[in-house]
Amino acid sequence: MSLPSSLPPPRFPVDAVLPGLFDVLRRHGGAVLQAPPGAGKTLRVPPALLEQPWLPGHHILVVAADGLAARAACLRMAALLGEEPGVTVGFHTLSGGVAGPRTRIELLPAALFLRRIQDSPELADVGAVLFDGLDGQRSDGFPGDGLLGAAFAREAREALCGRTLLLAMTDPMGTAPAPLAALLGGGTGPVPVVTCGAAGFPVEIRPIEASVPGAAPETAVATAVRRALREERGGVLAILPDGGAVCRAAALLREAGEVGPDILLLSLCDEAASDLPAAVAPAPPGLRKLVLATPSAEAGLGIADVRIVVDCGLTRLPRHDRNRGMAYPLMLPTGRDAAQRRAIAAGRHEPGVCYRLSPSRVLPEPSACDPAAPAAPAAELALELAAWGEKDTGAALGPGTAGAQASSLLVLLGAIGADGAITPLGQRMARLGLPPRLARLILCGADIGLGGLACTVAALLAEPDHPGGGDGTDLRERVDRLLAAEGEGACDPDRDLPILVRAQAWRWRIGIHQPVDRAGCARIGELLALAYPDRIARRQPAAPGAIEEGEPVRYGLADGSFARLPAGDPLAAEARLAVAFLDDSRGDDTRVDDSRGGPADDPRIALAAALPEPDPQRDASP
């Protein structure tokens, strides 16, 4: 994919600081490059560094925020070199990669770099590791995985007396350079910081309100896109909170007939998006580009021909949710810095316009919900630290209860032992790169011959906006309906398909390629207990006549807490449950006549499955 001859040669402000940057790297072995989006740090630094005769190793690794960013940078870098991807520049993601015997620059997401350095800390034949987009939004991994990978790389270099160069590339709206410099320097003191001048053109911000208050993000964005297409010229980049919203927005625009023959509609919903090559290349003559993308495209991903950005004003960031018992992507307003990064994409090549659905006056401070300072999920972070050899993960995560709770959970899941050392199961869980509960569910489910079904259950549990209301509480019924729809080819493309696609990807990762047998649904409670051993629940004795009077049924959970089910729920007849999700919202059925003085506002069981009584010979579960 070579650059078209009609495309003017790019000019990169970062070129002016390359001699000084390389001198710093040669003398200090590390540096922080602070350059604004569009300065060319991602595209220019790796190839130019490759030409330096003093580079200590053969390969350069570029650690991107996620798989989509890694693929995009590879395509653009290869085009600038006049080559196809996989020659000098290649990429590796969780869903695949392109590389060859001549490949010397490899781009990979932070989540995959963690796996590489955990498996091979010496980084043989790697001369430099460049960390790009440590403070950007990601669609895989967890916030802080890039910083953790940088810390591991620095520790490995110190312990193994390696010569691998470490360079963190950030922008002025991201992580402050001083902490990054200290992180890369370690015991020898902070590495130098090199700064680059600004790039790009001014961007006009046009705050707009959703046409229908409370409308779904895709509906509001589709409305704003229609307005942008009418009012302005040039290509459009619309940023939505997640891949599901991208697909739904594309469907809305097509159904409404808004995409005429002169519009090239492209969707970037995940790292394997087939539309990515067309998105980073110039639009064909006579066509106007409309790209719908996740927040991975905050700085544009180098998407050509963009002069208009439509910012949904929302983002999804992992936050620990007590009701789910694990971290999951929570929809939050976009912080100021992230909003500014999104707008910059409209001014890469000429003055642009950004339609922003959230007025700047109500945007929270960056410390509250901006990706520049995210809170890494404690359990995921603790598992990575344990895999690295840390035996006191609770203390390593700092003061407070989050670290201790994360360590306790990993012990309960069998990922670390009582001595704090990681177990063989924990090593397998870390390699899978999923939240620890889901990783144990999939791996231990496969060990008992239910791997395919376990992936489907895990994919449903991972759904950000899990179904509620009329879907019922019984997970077994939901999974059975999902598999039946898959077998009949009657899947809801918005509701069911994302879950099934996720499940299939996880099945392939553990080597399962056969269809899921619905007969295994009878054992879903057993699978759920693998992920939630602390939420195995037993029905509590009820006061005489309580069921007839419609009082909720109370269950005692293995962690010592209590939860309730409405008396009419079919699962309320079960003596034993495996509980996944709770619901703290208070409804009309919150009254519990507990003669023992228990709380009257126990959370409601939102998702669970019946669990047979344990077999005393092989099951010591409560």
pLDDT digits (tens, 9 = 90+) for 346-392: 988 889 999 999 754 444 444 433 333 445 678 888 999 999 999 88
What confidence score (pLDDT) does residue 213 get? 61
Tabulate helix, strand, coil % of the chain (nearest 5): 40, 20, 40
Q: What is the pTM of this model?
A: 0.86
Of 426, 427, 416, 413, residue with least CA distance to 392: 416
pLDDT for 169-209, tens place per residue?
A: 988 877 788 989 999 998 889 999 999 887 778 999 999 87
Residue pair 31/18 in contact (Cβ under 8 Å)? The answer is no
pLDDT band at 321 (very low <50, low <70, confident <90, very high): confident
- Stretch 550-573: mean pLDDT, rounded? 91
Q: Which residue has the higher pLDDT, 186 or 264?
A: 264
Kindly state the percentage of the chain with pLDDT values over 90.
52
What confidence score (pLDDT) does residue 545 get? 55
Place of tokens 């945007």: 363
- Stretch 338-351: mean pLDDT, rounded? 88
Q: Does residue 125 carry a pLDDT above 80?
A: yes
What confidence score (pLDDT) does residue 21 get? 96
pLDDT for 13-37, tens place per residue?
A: 899 999 999 999 999 999 999 988 8
Residue pair 306/291 in contact (Cβ under 8 Å)? The answer is yes
Residue pair 22/33 in contact (Cβ under 8 Å)? The answer is no
Helix (H) or strand (E) holding 193: strand 193-195
Give the C-alpha separation, 365 to 101, whole Å.
47
Is residue 245 helix, strand or coil? helix
Q: Does residue 238 carry a pLDDT above 80?
A: yes
pLDDT for 109-121, tens place per residue?
A: 998 999 999 999 9
Give the C-alpha separation, 237 to 280, whole Å.
12
Give the C-alpha separation, 520 to 504, whole Å.
17
Place of tokens 């208009």: 308
pLDDT band at 10 (very low <50, low <70, confident <90, very high): low
Is residue 554 helix, strand or coil? strand
What confidence score (pLDDT) does residue 618 get? 52
CA 128, 73, 355: angle at the middle one, nearest 5?
130
What confidence score (pLDDT) does residue 456 get? 96
What confidence score (pLDDT) does residue 383 get? 93
Query: In the chain, what is the straight-line distance between the N-terminal and C-terminal CA atoms, in Å?
Result: 60
User: How does DSSP assign 118-168, residue by residue?
Assistant: HH-TT-TTEEEEEEE-TTS--SSS-TTHHHHHHHHHHHHHHHHT---EEEE
Helix (H) or strand (E) holding 76: helix 67-80
Candidate ranges 5-9, 297-301, 515-519, 593-597; pick with highest mean pLDDT? 515-519
- Output the CA torsion sign for 114, 497, 272, 227: negative
What confidence score (pLDDT) does residue 494 get? 73
Q: Which of 1-10, 435-444, 501-510 has the lowest mean pLDDT?
A: 1-10
What confidence score (pLDDT) does residue 548 get? 54
Q: Strands 263-268 and 193-195: what pairing?
A: unpaired
Residue pair 327/435 in contact (Cβ under 8 Å)? The answer is yes
Q: Does residue 542 carry a pLDDT above 80?
A: no
Residue pair 200/173 in contact (Cβ under 8 Å)? The answer is no
> What residues contact 515, with CB distance under 8 A and at least 6 apart?
452, 487
What confidence score (pLDDT) does residue 515 get? 87
What confidence score (pLDDT) does residue 604 get? 93
The mean pLDDT value of the chain amounts to: 85
Q: Which residue has the higher pLDDT, 408 or 403?
A: 408
- Stretch 509-521: mean pLDDT, rounded? 90
